[in-house]
Structures are given as C-alpha cells and as structure tokens.
Structure 1
Amino acid sequence: MSSETLSQKIAPHEEFDGVLALRALLRAGLDVEVYPRQVVYAPARNGVDLSFVHGIPGSSGLGPVTYAQDKRMQRGLLERHGVPVPRSATFTMGRGISGAKRFARKVGYPVLVKPAVGDNGIETFRNIRSSGGIDAALDYLRTPPSERPGFSRAAYGLTELREPGEENGRIVVPPGYMFMVEKQLEGTYLRVLVSDGEVRSIIQCEGVPTDESFIGGTEILGQTHPSLNELALRAVAALPGLSLAAIDFVVENPVRPVDEQDLGVVELSERPALWVQARVDPTWAEQLAEDLVRRYATAEGHSLPEPRPSVSVTLEAHALPDATEGGQAIVEAATARGLQAEVTDVDQTAGTVYAKLSGDAGIVAHLVNEMLNGSIDEQRVMLAVVRPS
C-alpha cells in the first residue's frame, strides 16, 4: 500500500498524528502498549520510557498543553512575548452574546467565532459579516462537543470540565461555556511546524485548515524571511514546556520582514497536525513524524535503530467482549489491508487475543488504532500490546 493510500485511510484528522507516531515506534522495533484515546507507552529500554497522547510526545508538559488549549491564556502569553495576534475577546454563552455582537461591530466585520477552550484549530467559523452570522455560529457551538457531528474521542479539552444542560428539550453547553470573537485577518495563510526549537515545515495554504476549506498547499520552508522563523520560535517559547507546536500565521508577504507588514498568529496548537503536510505530500508527513519521534527519543537519551521498511510483530488484544469473534475480526481486517495475520491463542474468559502480524508498519499502526476505537466490527480493545517478533 502506498503512503498516499495509507494517509487517506487515516481519519479523522484528530487521530492522524497518533497513528503516524505509532508507525514510527513500530518501525524502530520498540515494544509498545496502546490504550484508548491514542495513549501510547513504550516501556523502559536502557532506563528510558517514551509516551505519547494523540501523537503529542511526553516532552510536552501538561501545563503548557492546557495553556495552549485555553485561548485567553494562549493569547495573553503571546502578547506578553511580543507576538502579534488579532484583536479578540471571549464571552460566555449565557450572558455574553450581546457583548460579542457589540465587539464585532467595534473591530469591524468580518470576524471569526470559535470555542475559547479545547482543541485548537477546530470548529472555527470564518467570514462572519453580520450579527446573524454570529447567531448561526453560536447555535452550532451551543450543542455540547460530544453531540456535534463528527465528534471523535481523540478530541479533548483539558480545561473544560462543566457539565452540559438542557434547553427546550435540547442538550446544550452550560451558560459558562466560553467562545471567542476575533477580527479576521486577510492575507496569506501559513501553517508552521516547530519542533525542539527548530522550524521544520512551513505550508503556504490553499484554504484554511481550521474551517475545512483547506485543499492543499506548498511547502516553502527555506523560502520565507528569517524574521518569520524567529517569530514562530518566539511564539512557541511564549508557552514554555511545549516541545512542538503547529502555528498558523496570516501575513501580507512571507518573504518580507515581519516588522514591515501587518500579520498575526491566529492559531497555536500543541498538536503537530501533520494531516496538513500530508495533503501536500504524504511521504513528507511520515518523515516529519519519524523525525519528531526520534528527536524525542534522543532528548530522553534513547538511541533508536534505523527504521524498518516492514515489521513482524506479536499482538496482545485485551478486554474484547468476545475474544473468539474478535480474533476473527482482527485477522479479517488485517488481511483486507494487505497484512499477513494469524491468531495464535485465545483466552475467551479474559477476552484476550494473541496474534501475529506482518507487513507495512503504517498499516499495522492504523489497524491497532481501529482496534482501540472500536471500528472493527464493534470489537473494542482496551489495551493492545505490540512487540517485535
């Protein structure tokens, strides 16, 4: 299976980074334990443990991830470090709607509306040019995230802990749910990936990744003005403790100095969001994922061997509702994806399947991800242990 076909199969976007990180770990021949919501743990080798959540390495601290997901904190930290951001304000769903409309009139349409807390760069409503447009965006956001179309358990909001309510028979977010109204910047949209103090990718976008209008783009790393790279590094440094980040800029011209133009950071995400690079070049996205994993391992004092083009692994799939049927479903799904697969043992009482898999590491990673999210004949696995044969 080609990398393009593999990349097209990895969905939704929220799961893309986790699958590519698992692929890189398997290609390095590591033992891994994989839990629901893409929690991946590589037990100690030479005294070093590696861990990932949705493709985010353990070198990114919980605090900085939380700050990144709270746009009020994020924007405050960026401004404090001299990073330009658009004019914006946050409001509550219960009492802030009229204030949001006044703010939009003050800064001038068009504006954007987005959740103030949660995964960055999702569910952004752009090109809003009237109070009616704000009402339409808020009607969507009034539905709790778990009830919205396309909801994925790979999405998470570390600082959103309030319970939903009910309004005229409809499940709605609590009155304290916060949203942001932001002046929409016009210009060239760039997605910048920073890892370990280095700019690793700059995509000049066709469309915008945050509102599903993104259709592709061009990798322009090395073609932008050096001051733009410096500004990206400063933005990540504003949230100390993030080992990587995906930053979205809107600029007038990417080859001009930043102090000679109007520009701003419109999103900063703690996730690598490599699906954007994959739309441009699937192989480039896989290479970046390998690089992120190996940089993390190196920083932890772990030397990884050269990646293997294909893998042969043993699989333990735990806590299946029916191990016999689950084992058959796993083999059928693996075979349909071009892997060699066989069940070697079944513990029906414990709900555990033992199997062997051989083939492309990316397909194995995708299959394991499907096991954990329950999309293989609804045979949800609660723990998958994968070891090189």
Structure 2
Amino acid sequence: MSDLPGQGEQAPEATTFRLPKGLRDGYEVHRSALERGLDVRLLPRQVMQVNAPGDTGPAEGFTHGIPQQTSLAGATYAQDLRMRRAMLLKAGYSVPLGATFSVGRSRVLGRKFAERIGFPVVIKPAVGDNTIEVQTGVTNKREFRQAVEYLFTPPSKRREFTRSAYALTELREPGKINGKLVAPPGYRFLVEKHEHGDYLRFLVINGGVHNVLYCADGPWKTRRHMIEDVTEVVHPSLSEIAVGAAKVIPGLKVVALDMVVPDYEEFTEIDDAKIVEFSERPWLSVQLKKSPELASQMADLILETALPQAAEFQPQQVVATEVLIGGAVDPITLLEVLAEQFEELGIEGQLHESDHTLGQIRGKLNGNPAKIAWVFERLLDKGIKKQRAMLVEIHQNIPA
C-alpha cells in the first residue's frame, strides 16, 4: 500500500527516503531549499526555481540539482567521453589507456583492443550520463561480449537507464535488426584499461574539494559499510589534482571526479593519478551510502553556492507552506492520494480543488520539509498511484 522505505531501509527520516539515484541530487537540493523556508517552483524533470520569500527578482534555477551556472556546453563536453579524455590529456592529466568503438561495426576491433591492452577492462557508453552504465572488471572475451550486448540494447530499455540526464547528447533514433529495436547505428562504446589502486570520489563544488570518499570497489559497487570518508586525510597533492582537472572543462559549477591512485595518503604525481570518471553532477547517492547527513550537507553547499542568501536562513524541522499543484489530470483522485500520503508521513494541512479545468489544487501544508519534498518529487516524476502533476509551487511566507 505505502511507498515508504521497505524492510532493510532506514526509518523514514529526512534523506533516507527511497528514490532512484538519478533523482537524488534534485531531491536533496529541493529539501535543502524547503528547510530554509525558501519559495520553490518545481516542474517535471526536476526543473526547479528557488527564491527567498518576498524576493521579486529573478529566481535561481536548478535542473536535477545542478545550478544554472553550469553551462549546457560544459555538461555536453563532460558527457562526451572522447572529448573529455582529449581535454584532460591536453591539459596534462592522466586517464586510463582507452579507445572507442561502434557496437555494430567494430565490436570485434574493440575486443581485440581489450586483448592487446590486457584484461581486465572497463566498458562504458562513449556518450551519455556519466558514472552509470559503467561495466568494470571485464576479465575475458565472454564477459566482453555480454557487456557490449548490454550496450546494443536501446538506452531507454536498459536497466540502468535514467531520464535524468542534464544534457541531451544522444539524439539519434534506435535502429532495427529483424524487427527488434537496437541501439542507434554507429552507437559507440569506450574500452578502457581497468586501473587498480585506491578508488576515490572527489566532490568539487565551486572550485573547491568538499568531500572525498574512498570506495574500494567503485562508487556503485562498494557496500555502504565499506565506504570511508577520507576528506581530512587524503593527501593535498590529490586534492590539487582534482581541483585542476575539474577546471579543464569550463562552465561546471559542480563536478564529481573519480580518481585511482597508489595510496591516497601519500604524495602522488599527476601521471600516477588516473582520472577514471568525470561528471557534471554530484551523484549524491554515493554520499548517501556513507550517511544521509553527508548527502544533506553537500546539497546545502550546492544550494548556497548558487543562492548565497540561503545561508542566512536557519534550517527548520517543520515548515508551514502555501501550495499550488497544477496540471493534474484527475484532481479529485489526486487529492485522495495525497491525503493518504500526508497522513502516513505526519504532514498536516488542507488541500482543495481550485480549478478543475486547469487541474489545480491549492491549500496549506505543515510538516517536515524533507517529507514534503519527497512526495512532490515523486508526484512530478512517475507519479504516485498513477496520479501525476505538472507543476508544484510552494510559498513559505507563513510563520511555522
């Protein structure tokens, strides 16, 4: 009946709510804004505008938690792995030995390349959302064939696919073989040497390293209890490399950068620090695996970087809000669904249909801002119990 976290999840407090990792960044920044009593306008695909209460000036924008100061060009460069690798190499940084190949016409050449550089290798899409759909530790021909077959599946049909990409970088239509949809003709994949050593995830915000996690098996495979926060002990030489590399692609306010090094506590030359991933978004699901509090802290920094006055507002555990929901197909049924959700979460308030033709619902809510954000993020994503909306506006000019 309920969408609350299931068995094995933590209790439903703040950032412990279950969400796809592609939505985590947007949710965390949304939560941070509501906790500080800021006004929020939320649209589908996690497009969000944030204002201080009573501020009639231009709103600060976010898309999937990424500040609007991040340029579309910068995000697109980051998501084109051939371009990104070339830019890093030209700037003097080190990346694993690698090359790109077509899934249809040159997969055999890709396998031969893997054999030449030596297994294990890493296989990832040459263009697209970073750090996900990366297949590491491919150790032989059979595993190589399976990895490429996965990428031959159209992106929207893959188990790791997310529609939360910040930049549109793969616009071609799927192809067909014997009536079956496959990846677009010429779809390319990258084969890289699998680097061994200490695997680090750096989170660079506004030109500074704010968090470093040691992930023994990479950011997604490492179990929660094995992730270590090494921000205070990582050698300064590595932080310096991370900051410099993050600047190679201009126009990025936030960068998640993965590096493999011999020993994260020792001085490391730039040639020995292999940059294996580089993303224009923070992927706070990795920080969440370490602790919900850490993910929240990093989201707070992202919000304050884009909207400095947010730091002037103290976080509140309970907020009182005025809400407008727009674009509901069936407002009456949606009211029933929301009433059930809010009752389960301990959110008080009263909503009513204000315009049936426009699918609008208005009212007031009083409750935990993290829980309110969780409900509305899901409502504008895939919906709740088949009910969706196209707009949520939250104004917090009422004392809590």
Task: Please say if residues 81 and 234 of structure 1, whose CA atoms lie closer than 8 Å, have aligned partners that are also in contact.
Answer: no
Pairing 1:1-389 to 2, within 5 Å after superposition: 5-42=13-50, 45=55, 47-149=57-159, 151-155=161-165, 158-210=168-220, 212-215=221-224, 216-259=226-269, 262-298=272-308, 304-388=312-396, 389=398
| Between 4-13 and 222-231, the greater mean CA deviation after superposition | 4-13
Q: Go from structure 1 to structure 2 and tell me whether the alpha carbon gap of 1:141 and 1:213 turns closer, same or farther (over 3 Å shift).
A: farther
Letter in 2 for 1:133: E
Q: Which residue of 1 aligns with 2:7?
A: none
1:91: how far off?
Answer: 1.0
Letter in 2 for 1:373: D
Task: Please say if residues 238 and 264 of structure 2, whose CA atoms lie closer than 8 Å, have aligned partners that are also in contact.
Answer: yes
| Partners of 1:3 and 1:307 in 2: CA distance | 21
Q: Go from structure 1 to structure 2 and tell me whether the alpha carbon gap of 1:156 and 1:245 turns closer, same or farther (over 3 Å shift).
A: closer
| Partners of 2:32 and 2:270 in 1: CA distance | 41
| Partners of 1:67 and 1:260 in 2: CA distance | 22
Between the two proteins, what is the percent identity of the paired residues? 36
Q: Secondary structure at the match of 1:171?
A: strand
Unaligned runs of 5+ in 2: 5-9
1:359: how far off?
Answer: 1.2
Post-superposition Cα deviations, 1:60-113, rounded to whole Å, max 9, x if no partner, equal 111111111111111111111111110111111121211111211121111011
Q: Secondary structure at the match of 1:21?
A: helix
Q: Secondary structure at the match of 1:200?
A: strand
| Partners of 2:142 and 2:251 in 1: CA distance | 40
1:168: how far off?
Answer: 2.4
Letter in 1 for 2:388: R
Q: Go from structure 1 to structure 2 and tell me whether the alpha carbon gap of 1:310 and 1:59 turns closer, same or farther (over 3 Å shift).
A: same
Task: Please say if residues 75 and 167 of structure 2, whose CA atoms lie closer than 8 Å, have aligned partners that are also in contact.
Answer: no
Q: Go from structure 1 to structure 2 and tell me whether the alpha carbon gap of 1:152 and 1:330 turns closer, same or farther (over 3 Å shift).
A: farther
1:59: how far off?
Answer: 1.2
1:375: how far off?
Answer: 2.9
Post-superposition Cα deviations, 1:316-361, rounded to whole Å, max 9, x if no partner, equal 1111111111111112112212211321443222211113221111
Q: Secondary structure at the match of 1:367?
A: helix
Q: Go from structure 1 to structure 2 and tell me whether the alpha carbon gap of 1:372 and 1:196 turns closer, same or farther (over 3 Å shift).
A: same
| Partners of 1:337 and 1:102 in 2: CA distance | 55
| Partners of 1:332 and 1:25 in 2: CA distance | 25
Letter in 1 for 2:24: F
| Between 319-328 and 45-54, the greater mean CA deviation after superposition | 45-54
Task: Please say if residues 3 and 283 of structure 1, whose CA atoms lie closer than 8 Å, have aligned partners that are also in contact.
Answer: no
Q: Go from structure 1 to structure 2 and tell me whether the alpha carbon gap of 1:260 and 1:303 turns closer, same or farther (over 3 Å shift).
A: closer
Q: Go from structure 1 to structure 2 and tell me whether the alpha carbon gap of 1:199 and 1:303 turns closer, same or farther (over 3 Å shift).
A: closer
Q: Secondary structure at the match of 2:70?
A: coil
- TM score, norm. by length of structure 2: 0.91
Letter in 2 for 1:39: V
Q: Secondary structure at the match of 1:343?
A: strand
Alignment RMSD, CA only?
2.0
Q: Secondary structure at the match of 2:227?
A: strand
**Number of residues of Structure 1 aligned to a counterpart in Structure 2:** 386
| Partners of 2:65 and 2:241 in 1: CA distance | 25
Task: Please say if residues 251 and 261 of structure 1, whose CA atoms lie closer than 8 Å, have aligned partners that are also in contact.
Answer: no
| Partners of 2:254 and 2:165 in 1: CA distance | 18
1:197: how far off?
Answer: 1.2
Task: Please say if residues 261 and 273 of structure 2, whose CA atoms lie closer than 8 Å, have aligned partners that are also in contact.
Answer: yes
- TM score, norm. by length of structure 1: 0.94
| Partners of 1:386 and 1:75 in 2: CA distance | 42
| Between 57-66 and 125-134, the greater mean CA deviation after superposition | 125-134
Q: Go from structure 1 to structure 2 and tell me whether the alpha carbon gap of 1:137 and 1:5 turns closer, same or farther (over 3 Å shift).
A: farther
1:303: how far off?
Answer: 6.5
Letter in 1 for 2:187: Y
